[in-house]
Every structure is written in C-alpha cells, then in structure tokens.
Amino acid sequence: MQKLQVFGPNVLKGKINVSGSKNAALPILAASLLSTKKIFLKNLPKVNDIKTMIELLKSLGSKVKYKKKTLIINNLKQNKRVAPYRLVKTMRAGILVLGPLLAKFGNAKVSLPGGCAIGSRPIDIHLKGLAGLGVKYKIDQGYVHASAPRGLIGSKICFSKISVGATENLLIAASLAKGTTILKNCAIEPEINDLVNFLNRIGCNIKWIAKRSIKIVGVSEIKENSYSVMFDRIEAGTYLIAASLTRGNLKIRNIIPNLLKTEVKILKKIGAFIKVKKDEIHICGSKKIKSTNLKTAPWPGLATDLQAQMMVLLCKANKNSVIQENIFENRFMHVAELNRMGAKIMIKGNKALINGNTTFAPAELMATDLRASVSLVLAALTTKGKTIINRIYHLDRGYEDIEKKLRKVGAKIKRFK
Ligand code: EPZ
C-alpha cells in the first residue's frame, strides 16, 4: 500500500488550480443512465471515486471512454440493472444509480452501500422518497430489490431530514416519472444545483420553487448533450485552510468564490488576509491564528467535509476552540491521529474540544477516511521533521494530484510504496 512522506515545516506559496468536483460529478455520472443516447462530460477530476463510478456504469452496460479531456458515455445498449456489492462497497455514491435505473427500466437491484469510517450511512430517506413515487422494495442479502410495476408516478415528497444523496436520487428518478413531482426539505448544496443544471441540459424540466423545494415535470425524452462539471469547493477550501495554516500565500484558481463565502468568513475571522477576484481567491496566512467555535451544517453552513481540515488549523490557534459536528455521527476519526502528533483534542458527544498552541511532532500515521487523510497531510505540512501517512488510498478517492499540486507551491511531499 502506498504512503506519503512529508518533510515540514513548509510555507506554501504560489498558485493552485482547482479540479472538477467529485461530489458534483458522481450524481451526474449516475444520472447519465437516464439517457439512451450519448452524454459528453468535461472537467471530471481524475480521482478513484470517479474511476469506480465509471466501472459501475460499464458493469451496467454503458460504453464509456475518454476522448482527450471529455468523457463520452454511450448508453444505446445499456440494459443491466444490477449494481454489485464489489463496486458499491468502496464508493457509497453507487446507491445513486438506483433512481435512474428505476426511472428507465422500472426495476433495479442495488447493493446497500454499507457503513464507513464516518458513520452508518443509511439510505432510509432515499427509499422512503422512492416509495413516494410508487416504488416497491425489499432488502434481501445486502441488496435493495426495487420495482415500480406501474412506472414512477410523480407526487409530493417532503424529506424527513436534509440529505444530499436522497435529494439527488429523487431528482434523477422524478425526471422520467409520469406527471409532476414536488420535493420539499431538499439539500441545496451547490453540487445539487449542478445536477439540476445537467438534467435540464439533457432535456429534463426542473425548477426551484422555494429555498428547499423543487418541482420536476416528468419528461419522456432525454437529449444528447455535453456538460462541464463545477469546481470542487471542498478541494478549494482545503487549500485555503492550508495557506492559513502554513502562514503561506496562495492563489486558489478556477473557482466561484461566492460558493466559499462561509469558509472565507471563518478564515478572515481566524486572521487570514483574503482578496476575492472573479474566479480566484488570494489568501495570505497571518502569524497569529485566532481561536473560534465552529458548527458544521447543511449548505450554506460550514461544510462537514471541511471539519477535519479546520480542526488542524484550530490546533494552531492562540486559544482553545470547539467544533460541533452536526451531520455525521462519527466524523472525528482524525482526532486520535492528531493527538498522536501532540494535539490535545477531547471528544464530548458531537463536540471536539481543541487546545490551541499545539506543536505537532512528526509521527507515522494512519488515514481512515477521505477528509481525515487530508487533515493529516495539513498537520504534517506544519510539523518540523518527517511524517509518514499510511493507507493514502483514502486520499486518492477525492483529491486529484494532491502531492503534485502541493509540491508546486513548495511542500516537501512525496509518495512511496
Ligand atoms: C454527501 O454524502 C457527500 N458525498 C458527502 O461527502 C458529504 O459529507 C455529505 O453529502 C454531506 O454534505 C457525495 O456527495 C458523494 P447525506 P451523503 O445524505 O449524500 C443521514 C466526502 O468526503 N442520512 O446528506 O451520503 C446520513 O447518515 C463525502 O466527499 C440518513 O439518515 O450525505 C448523515 O448523517 C463524505 N438516511 C446525514 O443524513 C439517508 O437515507 C447527511 O447525509 C441518508 C442520509
């Protein structure tokens, strides 16, 4: 298994070009199953979750190939309806093929995604929503067996809890349902809006009718078209935090700064100097990192996917801080590893009490999940000496060329077996 070695401390200086969004691309790839024609997708990040989703589409009968930087998906002969455990277990977003397969064929068999390091990851809200469209399902031997004998019928559905994945599954399924569907209490992350834009681009009829409500008028025909996926705001946020942490000076480019408003506000409060331009944020870290208390929340609150990274920054703050994790029940797996580097973080329920003025010591570390892994890289960047991070396959699921991008701005980081 590959490892990362980081020699610190590093001060990051220069420009970083942000890649396409993994969390926008995954539902869009799943939604391409609605089509029986060709779909052309641009700006997909070269990360393992995208590779796994492409494998899943191929296992369902899609013909998928890259032509230069464009992914061409040809679903003319796509006719399989079973999403196997071996692919869904490593990439939970595989459950997002359930909606399109039901919409297109009226039946599907999809492996339950299973839990992971950050929580049990249930799909009850997905299934309840699909039942609202007339889907009958049973869980048997780790699979969802679902069917819609009379086809999907549009209706009014109010999610019991805000769920990004459930909103995406229902948006895709309702696109081909008979009649109109109204979804209420939707997740409204920018990646959802990117999915709506893609679906409308291929001929669907979807409109926001209130802050968390959306109206989908079912269509019968999906058009051939192309679409460029939005930028990865979590990758961008990670590098903004890295600049603040290393007291560096970075220009984070190819982004829509407005979609990072919450994180920019927090970093300014902590002391960073930030200039926002049209498609770039210029950030200079300040000597003094001020403590603050943070809570993760659905958009437009602080992204849970940036919680671990913010925690590393707050370890270096001038006083103690508290982070409250409100989205996932077990998203503090990075705390044990940070404490092994000399952090003093105590967990009380869904709160992490973080001592400031930490001096990290180099250590051999274990990555546990995607965002925890990158928080260990951030901590290593500010540590004097050599830090080794194991199981970096977690990192490769969602960060394109991370060591290349960091080396380019001065980090002493390399990958080895
Ligand atoms: C998406 O996961 C993202 N993944 C996650 O990013 C992100 O952390 C999360 O949204 C929240 O923003 C992708 O987009 C591929 P949810 P998802 O459904 O859809 C509970 C990363 O690091 N829930 O909004 O799984 C669930 O357990 C990943 O890139 C139910 O109880 O998140 C969680 O506590 C990690 N029942 C909460 O809701 C359900 O049916 C939010 O989950 C569904 C979810």
265-296: pLDDT as tens digits:
999 999 999 999 999 999 999 999 999 999 99
Each residue's pLDDT tens digit, 225-257: 999 999 999 999 999 999 999 999 999 999 999
Q: Name the domain boundary from 228, 244, 277.
A: 228
Complete DSSP assignment for 38-62: EEEEES----HHHHHHHHHHHHTT-
Q: How many angstroms separate the first and last alpha carbons of the chain?
A: 6
Q: Are both 157 and 241 inside the same structural domain?
A: no
- In 3D space, the residue among 300, 297, 322, 298 whose CA is nearest the CA of residue 311 turns out to be 322
Domain that holds residue 279: 3-19+231-416
Cross-strand partners of 66: 71
Q: Give residue ranges with CB within 6 A of ligand 1.
A: 23, 26, 93, 119, 121-126, 161, 163-166, 187, 189, 304-305, 327-328, 370-371, 398
Q: What mean pLDDT is reported for the chain?
A: 96
Distance (angstroms) between ligand 1 centre and the Cα of 163 equals 6
How many domains is the chain partitioned into structurally?
2
- Spatial strand order of the sheet with 273-276 comes to 13-17, 249-253, 280-284, 273-276
Domain boundary, last residue among 228, 246, 279: 228
208 & 299 share domain: no
One domain, residues 397 and 373: yes
Nearest CA to ligand 1 atom 30: 122
**According to the model, what pLDDT value does residue 330 have?**
86
pLDDT score for 115: 66
Cβ burial, residue 326 (10 Å; 0-12/13-18/19+):
middle
Is the pTM for the entire model greater than 0.85? yes
- Which atom, in ligand 1's list, is nearest to the CA of 189? 12
Q: How far apart are CA 313 and CA 54, in angstroms?
A: 35
Tell me the pLDDT tens digit for each residue of 148-174: 988 999 999 999 999 999 999 999 999
- Quote the Cα angle for 312-315-317, to 5°: 120
Task: Report how far Cα 320 is from the mean position of its chain's Cα atoms.
Answer: 29
Q: Is 284 marked active-site?
A: no
Same-domain check for residues 208 and 295: no
Q: What is the mean pLDDT of residues 213-231?
A: 96
Which DSSP helix (H) or strand (E) runs through 117?
A: none
> Domain with 297 in it: what CATH number?
3.65.10.10
Those residues with Cβ within 8 angstroms of residue 68's Cβ, 6 or more apart along the chain or in another chain: none
**Which residue CA neighbors atom 31 of ligand 1 most closely?**
122
Q: Which atom of ligand 1 is nearest to the CA of 299?
A: 12
DSSP letters of 307-348?
Answer: HHHHHHHHHTSSS-EEEE--S-TT--HHHHHHHHTT--EEEE
Q: Per the omega criterion (within 30 degrees of 0), is the bond before 362 cis?
A: no
* CA–CA separation, 320 and 139 (whole Å): 46
Chain segment 307-356, per-residue pLDDT in tens: 999 999 999 999 999 999 999 988 999 999 999 999 999 999 999 999 99
Amino acid identity of residue 241, one-letter, is: I
- The whole-angstrom separation of Cα 131 and Cα 192 is 21
Do 221 and 321 share a domain, yes or no?
A: no
My answer on whether 149 and 255 are in the same domain is: no
Quick check: 120 pLDDT over 80? no
173 and 47 in one domain? yes
The answer, yes or no, to whether residue 187 has pLDDT greater than 90, is yes
Q: Tokens 């080895």 identify what position?
A: 416
Ligand 1 mutation target, pool 163, 171, 325, most atoms within 8 A of CB: 163
Pairing type for strands 351-354 and 385-390 reads unpaired
For residues 63 and 51, give the distance between their C-alpha atoms in angstroms, rounded to a whole number.
14
Same domain, 8 and 39: no
Residue 306, pLDDT score = 98
Same domain, 219 and 237: no
Q: Residue 417 — very low, low, confident or very high, per pLDDT cuts 50/70/90?
A: confident
| Atom 21 of ligand 1: nearest residue by CA position | 305
In terms of pLDDT, which residue wins out, 91 or 359? 359
Q: Nearest 5°: phi and psi at 265?
A: -60, -45
Same domain, residue pair 145 and 14: no
Q: Is the pLDDT of residue 299 over 70?
A: yes
- pLDDT-derived band at 410, boundaries 50, 70, 90: very high
Q: At what angle do helices 22-31 and 190-201 cross, to 10 degrees?
A: 30
pLDDT in tens, 33-57: 999 999 999 999 999 999 999 999 9
Which of 184, 208, 228 is a domain's end point?
A: 228
For residue 122, report the distance from its CA to the centre of ligand 1, in Å: 9
Together in a domain, 280 and 218: no
36 plus 94 within the same structural domain: yes
Percent of the chain whose predicted confidence (pLDDT) is above 90? 94
